[in-house]
Amino acid sequence: MYIFMASLLLRVFFCLAVFVWFIFFFFTFCSLSSCMNSDSEDEVEAAEADKDDLARCISELTTTLRHLRKDPSLYLEFGLELEISLLELQREAQCHVLYKPYDFHSLDHIFLCRFNAHEITRMASVLLPETVSHPNRRRRVSCDGRQALCVVLARLASPDRWKSLRVNFGGKSVTWLSGIYHSTLDLLYEHAKKELWTFSSNLVEEIPGFVAACQDRFGFNAWGFMDGNHADVSRPSAEQRAFYSGYEGHHLLRALAIVRCDGMFECAFGPFPGSGSDLSMFNDTKMEDKLRNLHQLVSATHFLLPSEQVCILADSIFTCSVDIVTPYDYGDLKKNLAPGALPGALSERMRRKFFNLVHSGTRIAVEWGFGRCLNNWRALSYKAAMKVHHTSPEKAMLVSMFLTNFIVAARGAQHEDYFGVNAMSFEEYLMKIANL
């Protein structure tokens, strides 16, 4: 009996010892693993911070060089050293493309997304939430705002199919990329509507500078240039007649835009179905009333004389008025003069021809704006991807104009040299959007 009790006690003590040893080993292992994970996470965060700092330095140095190149004397004095520093920083930041796992800093941002790493980070922090997810939570599609912005920029910048973009985003599926694209595009579309569907709050203070520059160069009291633009779309599955343009001979979307002297889109109304015209868009948006109210506010704010009335320039499809200056009718200028015409009629014709020549030379600014938008965002020219009711081409068109303003703020435009007006900086425009 005693022997049985002793053996039972030994077994109990042995089981307790094994249990205590197991608990001790388990907690020790958990503490070590947590320490290792915390150390690895700290290392990853430190590496990401270093990459972000390097990207910010490259962005600031590129902006400094862009302004230095406008002054030859300063560029000759400081430009060479800064160019060498920029090359060294770019060489340090250069790394091979990693497909898995996804690494934000391994992308060729300028080629793939049209912006550098620092600019994308700043835009994502202001325009997008920390996590972008699909409205349908059952699809389980989500990512951080920076990666989501890269998906939209890469899709708009290149007419590639989703399968060719998978390698740049860690091999994500086509469904995942499409869901992130449309979710992020909706968020950017809301910002684009706030910015482009109304005149800027600080436009009244900026107009005198634009008018002075245009007056000195070309003699017009103009601050902007208005015209219509279109993007081809695939034949819709419904309402085909509304999107078909008999003039161009295919289906398209239209937008009416005003480009300022510094190269930025001040406003872009639409898009509208392609069956209309520039004049119909002008009437539908009640642009004449908006311009009249704006110019009256400018005159009252800056105490302008009647002869100093500001205006915008447009082509001959619009009606000439105090607020909109259009060229003379080209058909009348091509007609032969009557045999007994006075010499003053000939001089008046020459004056009108010269007026039209100068007018077209200034109005080319709006064509430069549209060209910059189409050259940077090639997806607008890829007709097969512009499917109404499926891929939201109307949102992509407005968002592309909105993103073009960021490109002008970051890289500049030929308008700056043509009119002698400097565009606002990238950070200034970003803060303007943040305060909308």
Q: Where are the domains of the chain?
A: 2-90, 97-194, 197-434
**7 pLDDT higher than 80:** no
Average of per-residue pLDDT across 134-149: 84
The more confidently predicted of residues 1 and 116 is 116
183 neighbors 133 (Cβ within 8 angstroms): yes
Q: Which residue has the higher pLDDT, 239 or 35?
A: 239
Q: Over 90: is that where the pLDDT of 433 sits? A: yes
Q: pLDDT tens-digit profile of 218-234?
A: 889 999 999 999 888 98
Give the range among 54-68, 116-130, 156-170 with minimum mean pLDDT.
54-68
Q: What is the mean pLDDT of residues 108-120?
A: 90
Residues 117-131 pLDDT 10s: 999 999 999 999 999
Q: How far apart are CA 405 and CA 363, in angstroms?
A: 19
Q: How confident is the model at residue 38 (pLDDT cuts 50, 70, 90)?
A: very low
pLDDT per residue over 376-410, tens digit each?
Answer: 999 998 888 888 888 889 999 999 999 999 999 99
pLDDT in tens, 236-275: 888 888 888 888 888 999 999 999 999 999 999 888 988 8
pLDDT of residue 292: 93
Average pLDDT, the chain: 83
Residue 225 gets the label, from left (phi > 0), alpha (psi -120 to 50) or beta, of beta
Which pLDDT value is given to residue 99?
A: 44
Q: How far apart are CA 33 and CA 95, in angstroms?
A: 30
- The pLDDT tens digits of the residues spanning 296-339 come to 999 999 888 887 889 999 998 898 888 999 998 877 776 666 56
What is the spatial distance between Cα 371 and Cα 367, in angstroms, rounded to a whole number? Answer: 6
**Nearest 10 degrees: Cα torsion 59, 60, 66, 68:** -160
Asked if 397 contacts 255 with a C-beta cutoff of 8 angstroms, the reply is: yes
Looking at per-residue pLDDT, the higher value among 276 and 120 belongs to 120
Q: How far apart are CA 155 and CA 24, in angstroms?
A: 54
Which residues have C-beta within 8 Å of that of residue 324, sequence separation ≥ 6?
Answer: 226, 288, 291, 311, 312, 313, 314, 318
Mean per-residue pLDDT, 124-151: 87
Sign of CA dihedral 388, 392, 393, 398: positive
User: Roughly what angle, to the nearest 10 degrees, separates helices 80-93 and 2-68?
Assistant: 150
Return the minimum-mean-pLDDT range out of 49-58, 170-179, 247-256, 395-404. 49-58
Distance CA 104, CA 169 (A): 9
Question: Whose CA is closest to 372, among 405, 396, 419, 398?
Answer: 405
CA 420 – CA 63 distance, rounded (Å): 18
Contact 153, 169 (CB under 8 A): no
